[in-house]
Amino acid sequence: MKKTVLFIIVAVITACNNPDKTVRKAHFRAAMVVNTDTLITLNGIGKSTAEAMIAHFDSCKGRDTRPTRQSVWFDSATIHRMVRLLDKEIVEQRAARNPQEPDTLMGVADGIRIYYISDLRVKTGRLVNSVALISTQHNGHDCQVTSCAKHKDYYNHAKNDDLFKDTIAIRGRVSKKPAVIVANGEITYNICVRNCNVPSCDPRSIHYITRRQAHMMLNQFRGRSITTKSEWFDLNLFRDFVNDKTVDGLRIYFARHPIERDTTTSGKDAFILVPTRSATFLGKQIHEDYLNCETTNNFFKNFTRKNQFRRGSRDLRPVGGGQDNGELCPSNCDQGASTKPRIKQNQGLC
């Protein structure tokens, strides 16, 4: 049985207010209610709402100098449904493509871009944040980024698909950094003092990140405003997650790259993706970070084989904390964005 761990990296944003906790949660739940529109994110937010929350987050992030250290957890059933939906759409997209188009991948689903979003009603202090998972399709070539491709966001999905039926699980579970880490299974927050080298992790991989580095990146996420916006991930990476029967979910941490010379990611905010497995703590079921690389090694071996010509790039060397293959915005942003989202009255930008 294959096992997995991967720590992966993604761009971030944060922001602004601190009203009563009950009111804040009620506002955010209302904003995250699954939309019946066919234009929708993979985690159930209508396109217009998602775009407004992304724009709000981007506008307000400079005001928050103490962004909340947190993570968002999705159960494995939700990740499975996302991958199944995109695989079905790939079949349809290939059947509908123009036979005269020389690029056989044009318009075909190729990954997921993760954005940070913010409650529209919170504009000062710390924002109430979560993530939007948006499907992307191949939109041409760009070898300035790791995947050597452009990725265009798209929202048109079948609203009756199984993915959108569980309106609670699809939103993900947002958790602030707990005082007692092991109680929730977020052990990557803990400093590793022994057995830190996971045997299944290949340190020769251009994307390998050590557990100690992952811990450092999580704990560096503080004391400064967020500087980035989103990050794109290859669909094959999520396929490898769902193929591992040991994994019970996927945790997306807020993190920050270390300061390094001559790298485009130096000091940039990012996501670290960590698979989880079921465990117990004091008789309570928890979702514990699963620190193993076997499943994701398969993805990165294939990725490296396809990108041998980029092996010398400084951006692709080992940087620490699992595996890293995300592409940060502004280096690789949505290629289809053309107009600013409409913001309703009382929900203006910062």
DSSP-assigned letters across all residues of 263-310: -TTTT-EEEEEEEEEEEEETTEEEEEE----HHHHHHHHHHHHHTGGG
Is this prediction's pTM over 0.85? no
Query: Within 10 Å of residue 166's Cβ, how many Cβ atoms?
Result: 15
Helix axes 76-96, 235-242, angle to 10 degrees: 130
* Cα–Cα distance, 118 to 129 (Å, whole number): 5
Q: Are 125 and 64 in contact (CB under 8 A)?
A: yes
Residue 151 CA to chain centroid, in angstroms?
15
* Cα–Cα distance, 84 to 290 (Å, whole number): 23
- Please state the domain extents for the chain: 21-328
Task: Give me the sign of the Cα torsion angle 82, 112, 256, 290.
Answer: positive
Q: Which regions of the chain does DSSP assign to beta strands (E)?
A: 70-75, 109-118, 129-138, 151-153, 173-176, 208-209, 230-234, 249-256, 269-281, 284-289, 322-323, 327-328
Residue matched to tokens 């939109």: 139
* Cα–Cα distance, 128 to 147 (Å, whole number): 32
Angstrom CA distances, 163 to 73, 84, 183, stand at 16, 9, 29
Identify the three-state secondary structure at position 114: strand
pLDDT in tens, the chain (350 residues): 444 444 444 433 333 444 444 444 544 554 555 555 579 999 999 999 999 999 999 999 999 988 999 999 999 999 999 999 999 999 999 999 888 888 789 999 999 999 989 999 998 888 899 999 999 999 998 888 777 889 999 999 998 999 999 999 999 999 998 877 777 899 888 877 766 666 566 665 545 677 777 888 888 898 889 888 998 888 988 998 888 888 999 999 999 988 876 677 788 888 888 889 999 988 899 999 987 776 666 665 665 555 543 433 333 322 223 344 467 876 668 766 544 555 554 555 77
